[in-house]
Structure 1
Amino acid sequence: MILAAIRNNPGFSREKIANEVGKSRSTVTRAISELTKKNIIRRVGSDKTGRWIMVENTPKNEKE
């Protein structure tokens, strides 16, 4: 649910994602942290004007 909200609305803040999926901001923050650690998503830009991007599936030796 959270990943789908990020995919559909990459510019959304954690607060807006929480409202979209009906979860608390802390739950969304925890989920985003896990998705970032697993290299599934990445934040590009600032907290205020940035956006979330999906990290492409590439072999580990080809990642940045």
Structure 2
Amino acid sequence: NQKKYRRLKRYWKLLLKDSTTLEPLKRHYHRLFKRPISQTEIVDELLSYNEELRTAYHFCQLLRYYFV
């Protein structure tokens, strides 16, 4: 799907950030989502595209929590 590809290509860096540093309340308009959306909502949306991506993201967040 072209829409999912564009969103992943533009916002992949949010998946690398520590989940505790994402902005959950500040909403800005993002043209690829066509609505105001926060960083945590963007990450949730990206993770909903693929279960394997979601599992890997949560695993990396656990590693970051325990070792950093």
TM-score by structure 2 length? 0.38
Which has the larger helix fraction? Answer: 2
